[in-house]
Amino acid sequence: MSAPPVPPVTTTVPRRSFLKWSAAAGGGAALVGAGAYFGGLPGVGPASAATAASGLDVDRTVWSSCNVNCGSRCPLRMQVKDGRIVRVLPDDTGDDEIGTQQIRACVRGRSMRHRIYNPDRLKTPMRRRPGTRRGGGEWEEISWEEAYDEIASTIQRLVKDYGNESIYLNYGTGTLGGTITRSWPPSQTPIARLMNCVGGYLNHYGDYSAANIEQAAPYTFGSWIGSNSFDDARNSRLQVLFGNNPLETRMSGGGETFVTQRTRQDNGQRVIVIDPRYTDSAVSLADEWVPIRPGTDAALVAGMAHVMISEDLHDQDFLDTYCVGFDEEHLPEGIPAGSSYRSYILGDGPDGTEKTPAWAARITGIPASTIVRLAREIATSGPVHITQGWGPQRHANGENQARSIFVLAAMTGSIGVPGGGTGEREGSYGLPMANPFATTNPVETAISVFGWTDAIERGPEMTALADGVVGKDRLDVPIKMIWQYAGNALVNQHADINRTVRLLEDDTKCELIVVIDNQMTVSARYADILLPDVSNAEQLDVVQQGSAGNMGYAIVADQVIHPLFDCRTVYEMCSQIAARLGVEKEFTEGRTQEDWVRQVVEDSREAVPGLPSFDELREMGVWKVKGESYIGLKDFRDDPVANPLTTPSGKIEIFSDRLWEMAKTWELPEGDVITALPEYVATWEGAEEARTNAKHPLQCIGHHYKQRTHSSYGNVDWMQEAHPQVVWINTGDAADRGIVNGDLVDVFNDRGRIRLPARVTARIAPGVVSVPQGAWYTPDAQGVDVGGSVNTLTSWHPTAIAKGNAQHTTLVEIVKA
């Protein structure tokens, strides 16, 4: 069948109502003015008249920044009048050239004022009212001293009764850009520094962004390498983006959005986007969009490899010289014939199946003729600028998804040369900034970033071979306390929220949850003790750069305003708790936060030539330097003998004998597999199961959305207005269900149900829906999540190797609400 055409929202656009507001939103009497909306919060006056006061009618303009986890990083100039921020301005330094570009903040950063002065701001320390359910929303205000005392005494008790490994720092990236205030990586946070003063804490490895590719890359390359930077695409005739969507993820006009667009404008390389959605990156950059069923990229690569091998288009010299396991002649010793990638593709391996374009077409949804054409083009345009985003790896078979794209880069000989790429995500130039504030955890035991709910539920049952515990064969103790600083992974960004909430409600398991944040986030609702943090506009820090092609930069984000309400800095909180634990001197080393920031800049100047002094940097706000394009594995390509990889063979391992061994020894749930080659694996709730699952036939992914960075900014009214939460559904799938654009719909499976408006669009593949990830879980009285969080629908089931999150592997059904 062919899908029906898009049902036009309006068949004809009446001349006088092309962009007419609906009655509800049309500035009518029902509309509440800003003054009323903000309930008298400081900093938000009534809406001004049409002729706004002059932009120069302010007391001062102060440099700040946006520090959330998008992969970009933007300076902001904040204008202050009478102690309030009245306007946020973009960077006004630099230009429109790659390497010296003006770092124009994205829509999110530009809405920062409504994040700082948000009705959800936490104002004073609070404790869950004794005897009430965790997450029940019943709080009592407590003094800072009471909060510090209770946290410190609980830490002492738990360390005595269970040891330091019972205390966990949950993943959080809300202030990832900071240095003293940073919330990620966990080992560099002020919380880690505090805990390290008293014996440490249970570590985690990986992260929710890229858990599976992070674990996969070392099996191929020995370590995380990165593909060539986007500016290097100027040396390519062809750029291929596998699920890579910089224009919606790394949205900064100083970062990869600017770099990709400007490079394409200047160079005119052909761009192919492979993605289940017709993304905004495809809208602006792509010559061709190849829609693919989620979780099937490894099958597409296999189908293309079949064409390349059959037509002798692959780079045999590169594979012979730099790789292990492409063919029988290059397998590790003792591995049986038929185990090479070539054998897997040609049907000479254990499964006996030829991975023809027709085979791949059935799985991926991409016609065989398209696969043949793509394979020929990719093989003969080299070097090809190949990158993948982190959608392909956020699947149940994510490690193999990621590894297969590395193999495609190898087969085309694109690795280690200008204009090419390793097949990982784009790398970028970065400054080696120092961090004297960071300390080392005496505890070496670690779990997967995604495994903390298991560690609460059944910690001592978790083992190295079954659960990926590192540093010990088995956990000794369950998690008894969680720190959640500037993060929403405690509930909203984890999976299967309803199940997670049930676990957290049992306070006999995890006994204390401390949340430090400046907003009443979904995770904050589940705290026992809630500590109100300041925003980054209320304190000083030196801020790390984001991914920006070949440009390096550093920002000093100054204190713009005094802390609001009774909020305090995380540095002060940790100092005070350290004092009660008898380690204040160790924690602060007698320094203030400003002393530390100065130290960071001073220490960084040794490694970063030309970096100004702290006082100069504070004046400048942002300092930029044009660096080199990043070419992943250039040294190895130039001289593989002198510069071997850190893999056991020293080469790129298409076949991994480490994985070969793990496949035999690891204890996996029924149906999960580890393969030495990056084979396509059909998984639970995968693309193939979708077509036989009558109850939940739609594949549900959760794309990163312009409204938010993950969940940050999700409660900002301007952002909700600009980019409302909607579920994308293909026109044909919507028609089958009687759904038209804008209808309120329920998306559900056995784990949960969410309710939100439908965006009926041709811009998503048939059989696929996308619920933009990061919306705030908001259960109604019936337990329906009317906030529309995709994680109400996702599963705790981890991936095979990384034990990571596979949130794009989710099956659902949709009905009109």
Partner 1 sequence: MATQLGFLFDQTLCTGCKACQVACKDKNDLPVGVTWRRVAEYSGGTWQQDGDTFVPNVFAYYTSISCNHCENPVCVQVCPTTAMHKDENGIVTVDEDKCVGCRYCEWACPYSAPQFNPATGHMSKCDMCADYRAEGQDPACVAACPSRALAWGPIDELRAEHGTLAGVEPLPDPSITRPNLVITPHRDAQPSGAGTGALANPEEL
**Interacting residues with partner 1 between 19 and 58 (CB under 8 A):** 19-22, 25-29, 31-35, 37, 44-56
Using CB under 8 A, which residues numbered 663 to 702 contact partner 1? 691
> Tokens standing for 770?
């996308």
Cβ closest to partner 1, residue 86 vs residue 158: 86
Cα(750)–Cα(292) distance, integer angstroms: 26
Please report, as a single letter, which amino acid is at residue 502. Answer: R
Binding partner 1 by CB under 8 A: which of 81, 157, 270, 362? 362
Cβ closest to partner 1, residue 220 vs residue 547: 547
Query: Minimum Å distance from CB 313 to partner 1?
Result: 23
Helix axes 211-221, 398-411, angle to 10 degrees: 40
Cα(533)–Cα(94) distance, integer angstroms: 33
Cβ closest to partner 1, residue 32 vs residue 694: 32
Cβ closest to partner 1, residue 675 vs residue 683: 683
Q: Are 558 and 80 in contact (CB under 8 A)?
A: no
Q: CB-based contacts of 58: which residues, under 8 Å, 6+ apart?
A: 79, 80, 81, 86, 87
Binding track, positions 101-130, relative to partner 1; x by CB under 8 A: ---xxxx--xx-x-----------------
Q: Are 406 and 341 in contact (CB under 8 A)?
A: no
Query: Minimum Å distance from CB 173 to partner 1?
Result: 21
Cβ closest to partner 1, residue 442 vs residue 742: 742
Query: Minimum Å distance from CB 290 to partner 1?
Result: 9
Query: Minimum Å distance from CB 42 to partner 1?
Result: 14
Cβ closest to partner 1, residue 460 vs residue 742: 742
Q: Which pairing describes strands 551-557 and 622-626: parallel, antiparallel, or unpaired?
A: antiparallel
**Tally of CB atoms within 10 A around 720:** 16
Q: CB-based contacts of 588: which residues, under 8 Å, 6+ apart?
A: 575, 578
Peptide bond into 350 cis (omega under 30): no
Q: Does 307 participate in binding partner 1 (rule CB under 8 A)?
A: no
Q: Helices marked H in 22-143 — which ranges?
A: 34-37, 107-110, 112-116
Cβ closest to partner 1, residue 89 vs residue 668: 89
Q: Which stretch binds partner 1 (CB under 8 A): 10-18, 343-351, 533-541, 650-658?
A: 10-18
Using CB under 8 A, which residues numbered 707 to 746 contact partner 1? 717-724, 730-732, 741-742
Select from 685, 677, 655, 647 the least CA-distant residue to 799: 685
Cα(395)–Cα(299) distance, integer angstroms: 14
Query: Minimum Å distance from CB 270 to partner 1?
Result: 13
Cα(691)–Cα(359) distance, integer angstroms: 16
Q: Is 541 helix (H, G, I), strand (E, B) or coil?
A: strand
Cα(235)–Cα(388) distance, integer angstroms: 18
Q: What is the DSSP string of 71-87?
A: S--EEEEEEEETTEEEE
Query: Minimum Å distance from CB 471 to partner 1?
Result: 43
Q: Does 11 participate in binding partner 1 (rule CB under 8 A)?
A: yes
Cα(513)–Cα(484) distance, integer angstroms: 7
Using CB under 8 A, which residues numbered 200 to 219 contact partner 1? none
Cβ closest to partner 1, residue 2 vs residue 782: 2
Binding partner 1 by CB under 8 A: which of 125, 303, 365, 423? 365
Query: Minimum Å distance from CB 722 to partner 1?
Result: 4
Residue 50, class by beta-carbon neighbours within 10 Å (0-12 exposed, 13-18 middle, 19+ buried)? Answer: exposed
Using CB under 8 A, which residues numbered 271 to 300 contact partner 1? 278, 280-281, 283-284, 289, 291
Cβ closest to partner 1, residue 193 vs residue 763: 763
Please report, as a single letter, which amino acid is at residue 124. Answer: T
Cβ closest to partner 1, residue 251 vs residue 504: 251
Q: Is 353 helix (H, G, I), strand (E, B) or coil?
A: coil
> Tokens standing for 471?
């540093």
Q: Which residues pair with 80 in a beta bridge?
A: 60, 85
Cα(711)–Cα(809) distance, integer angstroms: 20
Query: Minimum Å distance from CB 16 to partner 1?
Result: 6
Q: Which stretch binds partner 1 (CB under 8 A): 8-16, 229-237, 434-442, 545-553?
A: 8-16
Cα(138)–Cα(124) distance, integer angstroms: 14
Using CB under 8 A, which residues numbered 752 to 791 contact partner 1? 757, 759, 761-763, 765-766
Q: Count residues contacting partner 1 (CB under 8 A)? A: 105
Using CB under 8 A, which residues numbered 514 to 573 contact partner 1? none
Q: HSE on the CB side for 230, CA within 13 Å?
A: 31
Select from 383, 421, 381, 382 the least CA-distant residue to 405: 421
Cα(726)–Cα(724) distance, integer angstroms: 6
Q: Does 706 participate in binding partner 1 (rule CB under 8 A)?
A: yes
Q: Which stretch binds partner 1 (CB under 8 A): 1-9, 201-209, 422-430, 630-638?
A: 1-9
Query: Minimum Å distance from CB 252 to partner 1?
Result: 6
Binding partner 1 by CB under 8 A: which of 58, 61, 81, 90? 90
Query: Minimum Å distance from CB 375 to partner 1?
Result: 16
Please report, as a single letter, which amino acid is at residue 265. Answer: Q
Cβ closest to partner 1, residue 142 vs residue 358: 358
Cβ closest to partner 1, residue 389 vs residue 459: 389
Q: Does 350 participate in binding partner 1 (rule CB under 8 A)?
A: no
Cβ closest to partner 1, residue 2 vs residue 646: 2
> Tokens standing for 83?
């102690």
Can you say how many angstroms the Cα of residue 268 is from the centroid of all Cα atoms in its chain?
29
Binding partner 1 by CB under 8 A: which of 137, 268, 367, 783? 367
Query: Minimum Å distance from CB 735 to partner 1?
Result: 11
Query: Minimum Å distance from CB 395 to partner 1?
Result: 19
Cα(319)–Cα(342) distance, integer angstroms: 11
Query: Minimum Å distance from CB 603 to partner 1?
Result: 32
Cβ closest to partner 1, residue 56 vs residue 641: 56
Using CB under 8 A, which residues numbered 59 to 88 contact partner 1? 86-88
Query: Minimum Å distance from CB 88 to partner 1?
Result: 5
Q: Does 508 participate in binding partner 1 (rule CB under 8 A)?
A: no
Cβ closest to partner 1, residue 260 vs residue 575: 260
Handedness of CA 263, 268, 269, 274 (dihedral sign): positive
Using CB under 8 A, which residues numbered 409 to 468 contact partner 1? none
Query: Minimum Å distance from CB 656 to partner 1?
Result: 31
Q: CB-based contacts of 513: which residues, under 8 Å, 6+ apart?
A: 134, 481, 482, 484, 490, 504, 526, 527, 528, 529
Cβ closest to partner 1, residue 16 vs residue 664: 16
Q: Does 12 participate in binding partner 1 (rule CB under 8 A)?
A: yes
